[in-house]
Structure 1
Amino acid sequence: MSRETAALSRVQGAIARPAVVKAARGLSHFGEHSAGWFALGLVGAALDRDRRRDWLTASAAVVGAHAASIAVKRVVRRRRPEDPRVRVLVDTPSRLSFPSSHATSTTAAAVLYSGLTGKPLVPVLVPPMLVSRLVLGVHYPSDVLVGSALGAAIGGVVRRRLRGRR
Protein backbone atom coordinates (compact mmCIF):
# COMPACT_ATOMS: atom_id res chain seq x y z
CA MET A 1 0.00 0.00 0.00
CA SER A 2 1.36 3.43 -0.90
CA ARG A 3 1.87 6.12 1.74
CA GLU A 4 -1.00 8.13 0.32
CA THR A 5 -3.35 5.15 0.33
CA ALA A 6 -2.33 4.40 3.92
CA ALA A 7 -2.95 8.04 4.91
CA LEU A 8 -6.33 8.00 3.19
CA SER A 9 -7.29 4.78 4.95
CA ARG A 10 -6.23 6.27 8.31
CA VAL A 11 -8.30 9.42 7.74
CA GLN A 12 -11.35 7.33 6.93
CA GLY A 13 -10.77 5.08 9.93
CA ALA A 14 -10.38 8.04 12.27
CA ILE A 15 -13.25 10.32 11.23
CA ALA A 16 -15.56 8.71 8.64
CA ARG A 17 -18.51 8.50 11.01
CA PRO A 18 -22.09 8.78 9.68
CA ALA A 19 -22.50 12.48 10.53
CA VAL A 20 -19.10 13.35 9.05
CA VAL A 21 -19.82 11.36 5.89
CA LYS A 22 -23.19 13.09 5.54
CA ALA A 23 -21.55 16.52 5.86
CA ALA A 24 -18.81 15.50 3.41
CA ARG A 25 -21.42 14.39 0.88
CA GLY A 26 -23.18 17.73 1.30
CA LEU A 27 -19.93 19.57 0.58
CA SER A 28 -19.33 17.29 -2.39
CA HIS A 29 -22.69 18.11 -3.93
CA PHE A 30 -22.32 21.83 -3.19
CA GLY A 31 -18.89 21.94 -4.82
CA GLU A 32 -19.71 19.75 -7.83
CA HIS A 33 -18.55 21.56 -10.99
CA SER A 34 -18.02 24.63 -8.74
CA ALA A 35 -21.78 25.26 -8.92
CA GLY A 36 -22.30 26.20 -5.26
CA TRP A 37 -19.39 28.62 -5.24
CA PHE A 38 -20.53 30.16 -8.53
CA ALA A 39 -24.03 30.59 -7.13
CA LEU A 40 -22.66 32.30 -4.00
CA GLY A 41 -20.72 34.69 -6.22
CA LEU A 42 -23.93 35.54 -8.07
CA VAL A 43 -25.63 36.23 -4.74
CA GLY A 44 -22.73 38.55 -3.88
CA ALA A 45 -23.20 40.33 -7.23
CA ALA A 46 -26.92 40.75 -6.58
CA LEU A 47 -26.43 42.09 -3.06
CA ASP A 48 -23.33 44.25 -3.54
CA ARG A 49 -24.32 46.50 -6.44
CA ASP A 50 -21.29 48.76 -6.02
CA ARG A 51 -18.94 45.84 -6.70
CA ARG A 52 -21.18 43.77 -8.95
CA ARG A 53 -18.55 43.62 -11.70
CA ASP A 54 -15.95 42.37 -9.21
CA TRP A 55 -18.29 39.68 -7.91
CA LEU A 56 -19.09 38.54 -11.44
CA THR A 57 -15.39 38.46 -12.32
CA ALA A 58 -14.64 36.47 -9.17
CA SER A 59 -17.49 34.05 -9.91
CA ALA A 60 -16.20 33.49 -13.44
CA ALA A 61 -12.69 32.96 -12.06
CA VAL A 62 -13.98 30.24 -9.73
CA VAL A 63 -15.47 28.42 -12.71
CA GLY A 64 -12.22 29.05 -14.60
CA ALA A 65 -10.22 27.52 -11.74
CA HIS A 66 -12.44 24.45 -11.91
CA ALA A 67 -11.86 24.25 -15.66
CA ALA A 68 -8.10 24.55 -15.15
CA SER A 69 -8.15 21.61 -12.74
CA ILE A 70 -10.10 19.53 -15.28
CA ALA A 71 -7.48 20.35 -17.92
CA VAL A 72 -4.69 19.22 -15.59
CA LYS A 73 -6.62 16.02 -14.78
CA ARG A 74 -6.84 15.17 -18.46
CA VAL A 75 -3.10 15.60 -18.90
CA VAL A 76 -1.98 13.79 -15.72
CA ARG A 77 -4.66 11.04 -15.88
CA ARG A 78 -4.12 9.79 -12.31
CA ARG A 79 -6.83 7.33 -11.31
CA ARG A 80 -8.89 7.77 -8.18
CA PRO A 81 -8.07 5.54 -5.20
CA GLU A 82 -8.80 1.88 -5.93
CA ASP A 83 -7.79 -0.08 -2.87
CA PRO A 84 -9.98 -2.39 -0.80
CA ARG A 85 -8.90 -0.55 2.36
CA VAL A 86 -10.39 2.71 1.03
CA ARG A 87 -14.16 3.08 0.91
CA VAL A 88 -15.55 5.26 -1.88
CA LEU A 89 -18.56 6.96 -0.32
CA VAL A 90 -19.81 9.22 -3.14
CA ASP A 91 -20.19 9.02 -6.91
CA THR A 92 -17.82 11.06 -9.08
CA PRO A 93 -18.22 12.33 -12.64
CA SER A 94 -14.88 10.84 -13.72
CA ARG A 95 -12.25 8.30 -12.68
CA LEU A 96 -9.51 10.97 -12.64
CA SER A 97 -8.31 12.41 -9.37
CA PHE A 98 -5.32 14.76 -9.77
CA PRO A 99 -5.83 17.53 -8.86
CA SER A 100 -9.05 17.74 -6.87
CA SER A 101 -11.39 20.12 -8.68
CA HIS A 102 -13.37 20.60 -5.47
CA ALA A 103 -10.20 21.74 -3.70
CA THR A 104 -9.30 24.02 -6.61
CA SER A 105 -12.64 25.80 -6.91
CA THR A 106 -13.18 26.01 -3.15
CA THR A 107 -9.79 27.60 -2.56
CA ALA A 108 -10.23 30.00 -5.48
CA ALA A 109 -13.65 31.01 -4.13
CA ALA A 110 -12.32 31.43 -0.59
CA VAL A 111 -9.42 33.64 -1.75
CA LEU A 112 -11.58 35.76 -4.05
CA TYR A 113 -14.60 36.09 -1.80
CA SER A 114 -12.34 36.92 1.17
CA GLY A 115 -11.11 39.90 -0.80
CA LEU A 116 -14.65 41.02 -1.54
CA THR A 117 -16.12 40.47 1.92
CA GLY A 118 -13.10 41.45 4.02
CA LYS A 119 -13.55 38.19 5.96
CA PRO A 120 -10.88 35.48 6.31
CA LEU A 121 -12.74 32.71 4.47
CA VAL A 122 -9.78 30.50 3.54
CA PRO A 123 -9.29 28.90 6.98
CA VAL A 124 -13.05 28.42 7.34
CA LEU A 125 -13.91 26.98 3.92
CA VAL A 126 -10.84 25.22 2.58
CA PRO A 127 -9.91 22.64 5.26
CA PRO A 128 -13.41 21.12 5.50
CA MET A 129 -13.62 20.67 1.72
CA LEU A 130 -10.15 19.13 1.50
CA VAL A 131 -10.81 16.72 4.36
CA SER A 132 -14.22 15.85 2.91
CA ARG A 133 -12.59 14.55 -0.29
CA LEU A 134 -10.43 12.23 1.82
CA VAL A 135 -13.31 11.10 4.02
CA LEU A 136 -15.27 10.20 0.90
CA GLY A 137 -12.30 8.19 -0.43
CA VAL A 138 -12.22 9.91 -3.82
CA HIS A 139 -8.85 11.68 -3.59
CA TYR A 140 -5.35 11.12 -2.35
CA PRO A 141 -3.85 13.76 -0.02
CA SER A 142 -1.64 15.14 -2.81
CA ASP A 143 -4.73 15.59 -5.02
CA VAL A 144 -6.35 17.98 -2.56
CA LEU A 145 -3.11 19.79 -1.68
CA VAL A 146 -2.18 20.45 -5.30
CA GLY A 147 -5.78 21.34 -6.15
CA SER A 148 -5.83 23.84 -3.32
CA ALA A 149 -2.49 25.32 -4.45
CA LEU A 150 -3.84 25.70 -7.99
CA GLY A 151 -6.98 27.41 -6.68
CA ALA A 152 -4.90 29.70 -4.46
CA ALA A 153 -2.70 30.69 -7.40
CA ILE A 154 -5.63 31.45 -9.70
CA GLY A 155 -7.60 33.18 -6.94
CA GLY A 156 -4.56 35.22 -5.95
CA VAL A 157 -3.89 36.43 -9.49
CA VAL A 158 -7.50 37.45 -10.05
CA ARG A 159 -7.77 39.05 -6.60
CA ARG A 160 -4.72 41.24 -7.34
CA ARG A 161 -6.29 42.30 -10.63
CA LEU A 162 -9.54 43.16 -8.89
CA ARG A 163 -7.65 45.30 -6.40
CA GLY A 164 -5.91 47.03 -9.28
CA ARG A 165 -9.29 47.96 -10.82
CA ARG A 166 -10.43 49.86 -7.74
Structure 2
Amino acid sequence: VAWRLTQVAILAVTSLLVLSVADGWDEHGPAGRSGGPSTVAEPATDKASDRVDPGQLESASSPERTIAPDELRTFTLVATGELLVHEFVADTAALYGGDGFDFSPMFRRVRPILAGADLALCHLETPLSPDNSKFEFYPLFLVPFQLAAAIGGAGYDGCSVASNHLLDDGESG
Protein backbone atom coordinates (compact mmCIF):
# COMPACT_ATOMS: atom_id res chain seq x y z
CA VAL A 1 0.00 0.00 0.00
CA ALA A 2 2.80 2.43 0.91
CA TRP A 3 4.58 1.71 -2.39
CA ARG A 4 1.33 2.32 -4.31
CA LEU A 5 0.92 5.68 -2.56
CA THR A 6 4.53 6.53 -3.40
CA GLN A 7 3.90 5.66 -7.05
CA VAL A 8 0.78 7.85 -7.12
CA ALA A 9 2.71 10.73 -5.53
CA ILE A 10 5.56 10.39 -8.04
CA LEU A 11 3.07 10.31 -10.93
CA ALA A 12 1.29 13.40 -9.60
CA VAL A 13 4.52 15.39 -9.18
CA THR A 14 5.78 14.31 -12.60
CA SER A 15 2.46 15.29 -14.20
CA LEU A 16 2.58 18.72 -12.58
CA LEU A 17 6.16 19.19 -13.73
CA VAL A 18 5.30 18.24 -17.31
CA LEU A 19 2.27 20.51 -17.33
CA SER A 20 4.21 23.45 -15.91
CA VAL A 21 6.96 23.01 -18.51
CA ALA A 22 4.46 22.53 -21.34
CA ASP A 23 2.66 25.72 -20.30
CA GLY A 24 5.82 27.70 -21.12
CA TRP A 25 6.07 26.36 -24.68
CA ASP A 26 4.67 27.92 -27.81
CA GLU A 27 4.81 26.80 -31.44
CA HIS A 28 8.54 27.62 -31.56
CA GLY A 29 9.50 25.55 -28.51
CA PRO A 30 10.18 27.11 -25.12
CA ALA A 31 8.51 30.51 -24.85
CA GLY A 32 10.72 33.22 -26.25
CA ARG A 33 12.91 30.86 -28.29
CA SER A 34 11.70 32.28 -31.60
CA GLY A 35 14.63 34.70 -31.61
CA GLY A 36 13.07 37.82 -30.12
CA PRO A 37 13.29 39.02 -26.56
CA SER A 38 10.83 37.77 -23.97
CA THR A 39 9.17 39.81 -21.29
CA VAL A 40 8.77 38.74 -17.71
CA ALA A 41 6.51 40.46 -15.23
CA GLU A 42 8.34 41.66 -12.14
CA PRO A 43 6.24 41.25 -9.00
CA ALA A 44 5.64 44.32 -6.88
CA THR A 45 7.66 44.36 -3.69
CA ASP A 46 7.11 45.84 -0.27
CA LYS A 47 9.93 48.43 -0.26
CA ALA A 48 10.30 48.35 3.53
CA SER A 49 11.18 44.68 3.63
CA ASP A 50 11.78 43.95 -0.07
CA ARG A 51 9.33 41.06 0.08
CA VAL A 52 7.12 40.06 -2.82
CA ASP A 53 3.48 40.99 -2.33
CA PRO A 54 1.61 37.77 -3.21
CA GLY A 55 -1.39 39.80 -4.37
CA GLN A 56 0.71 41.37 -7.10
CA LEU A 57 2.06 38.17 -8.66
CA GLU A 58 -0.68 37.94 -11.29
CA SER A 59 -1.33 41.66 -11.66
CA ALA A 60 -1.37 43.04 -15.19
CA SER A 61 0.04 46.29 -13.84
CA SER A 62 3.29 44.67 -12.69
CA PRO A 63 6.35 46.23 -14.32
CA GLU A 64 8.02 44.08 -16.97
CA ARG A 65 11.64 43.59 -17.91
CA THR A 66 12.97 42.22 -21.17
CA ILE A 67 15.02 39.03 -21.28
CA ALA A 68 17.36 38.68 -24.23
CA PRO A 69 17.40 35.26 -25.96
CA ASP A 70 20.95 34.61 -24.77
CA GLU A 71 19.70 34.88 -21.16
CA LEU A 72 17.18 32.07 -21.60
CA ARG A 73 18.17 28.74 -20.12
CA THR A 74 16.93 25.26 -20.79
CA PHE A 75 17.39 22.02 -18.92
CA THR A 76 16.79 18.63 -20.49
CA LEU A 77 15.92 15.69 -18.26
CA VAL A 78 15.73 12.19 -19.69
CA ALA A 79 14.37 9.53 -17.39
CA THR A 80 13.74 5.92 -18.31
CA GLY A 81 11.90 3.13 -16.62
CA GLU A 82 13.04 -0.21 -15.42
CA LEU A 83 16.28 -1.82 -16.46
CA LEU A 84 15.16 -5.34 -15.64
CA VAL A 85 17.53 -8.08 -16.78
CA HIS A 86 15.83 -11.41 -17.37
CA GLU A 87 17.85 -14.48 -18.27
CA PHE A 88 17.47 -14.08 -22.04
CA VAL A 89 18.83 -10.52 -21.79
CA ALA A 90 21.85 -11.77 -19.82
CA ASP A 91 22.33 -14.57 -22.36
CA THR A 92 22.41 -11.99 -25.16
CA ALA A 93 24.94 -9.89 -23.21
CA ALA A 94 27.06 -13.03 -22.79
CA LEU A 95 27.05 -13.51 -26.58
CA TYR A 96 28.19 -9.90 -27.07
CA GLY A 97 30.79 -10.17 -24.32
CA GLY A 98 32.85 -13.22 -25.21
CA ASP A 99 34.35 -14.07 -21.81
CA GLY A 100 32.03 -11.81 -19.82
CA PHE A 101 28.87 -9.82 -20.36
CA ASP A 102 28.54 -6.80 -22.62
CA PHE A 103 25.22 -4.98 -22.33
CA SER A 104 26.44 -1.88 -24.19
CA PRO A 105 25.15 -2.88 -27.66
CA MET A 106 21.65 -2.95 -26.18
CA PHE A 107 21.91 0.79 -25.46
CA ARG A 108 23.21 1.76 -28.92
CA ARG A 109 19.96 3.31 -30.16
CA VAL A 110 19.32 5.41 -27.04
CA ARG A 111 22.91 6.58 -26.48
CA PRO A 112 22.50 9.79 -28.60
CA ILE A 113 19.33 10.72 -26.72
CA LEU A 114 20.97 10.19 -23.33
CA ALA A 115 24.10 12.08 -24.39
CA GLY A 116 21.99 15.08 -25.41
CA ALA A 117 20.39 15.43 -21.98
CA ASP A 118 21.61 17.64 -19.18
CA LEU A 119 20.60 14.89 -16.76
CA ALA A 120 19.82 11.30 -17.74
CA LEU A 121 18.43 8.96 -15.09
CA CYS A 122 17.47 5.31 -15.23
CA HIS A 123 15.67 3.04 -12.85
CA LEU A 124 17.85 0.02 -12.13
CA GLU A 125 15.27 -2.52 -11.04
CA THR A 126 17.64 -5.38 -10.24
CA PRO A 127 20.57 -5.74 -7.83
CA LEU A 128 23.99 -6.31 -9.38
CA SER A 129 26.09 -9.33 -8.50
CA PRO A 130 29.31 -8.15 -6.84
CA ASP A 131 31.47 -10.83 -8.50
CA ASN A 132 29.21 -12.77 -10.92
CA SER A 133 29.58 -15.91 -8.81
CA LYS A 134 25.80 -16.21 -8.53
CA PHE A 135 22.90 -15.03 -10.73
CA GLU A 136 19.15 -15.02 -10.26
CA PHE A 137 16.67 -14.01 -12.92
CA TYR A 138 13.13 -14.68 -11.71
CA PRO A 139 11.30 -14.12 -9.42
CA LEU A 140 14.32 -12.82 -7.49
CA PHE A 141 17.06 -11.01 -9.38
CA LEU A 142 20.84 -10.74 -9.12
CA VAL A 143 22.34 -9.79 -12.47
CA PRO A 144 25.85 -9.41 -13.97
CA PHE A 145 27.74 -6.40 -12.62
CA GLN A 146 28.84 -5.42 -16.15
CA LEU A 147 25.41 -3.84 -16.56
CA ALA A 148 26.73 -0.88 -14.51
CA ALA A 149 29.48 -0.13 -17.05
CA ALA A 150 26.98 -0.30 -19.91
CA ILE A 151 24.64 2.09 -18.09
CA GLY A 152 27.46 4.61 -17.62
CA GLY A 153 28.71 4.12 -21.16
CA ALA A 154 25.23 4.72 -22.54
CA GLY A 155 25.26 8.20 -21.03
CA TYR A 156 23.20 7.85 -17.89
CA ASP A 157 24.24 10.19 -15.08
CA GLY A 158 22.65 8.08 -12.36
CA CYS A 159 20.00 5.54 -11.51
CA SER A 160 17.36 5.07 -8.86
CA VAL A 161 17.40 1.64 -7.26
CA ALA A 162 14.42 1.75 -4.91
CA SER A 163 12.22 -1.05 -6.16
CA ASN A 164 10.48 -4.21 -5.08
CA HIS A 165 13.68 -6.09 -6.03
CA LEU A 166 16.02 -3.99 -3.90
CA LEU A 167 16.48 -6.73 -1.29
CA ASP A 168 16.40 -9.72 -3.65
CA ASP A 169 19.95 -10.63 -2.59
CA GLY A 170 19.31 -9.88 1.08
CA GLU A 171 20.12 -6.84 3.17
CA SER A 172 23.86 -7.15 2.62
CA GLY A 173 23.44 -7.45 -1.17
- What TM-score, normalized to structure 1? 0.31
Compare CA radii of gyration and give the structure with the larger one: 2
Q: Which has the higher strand share?
A: 2
Q: Which has the higher helix share?
A: 1
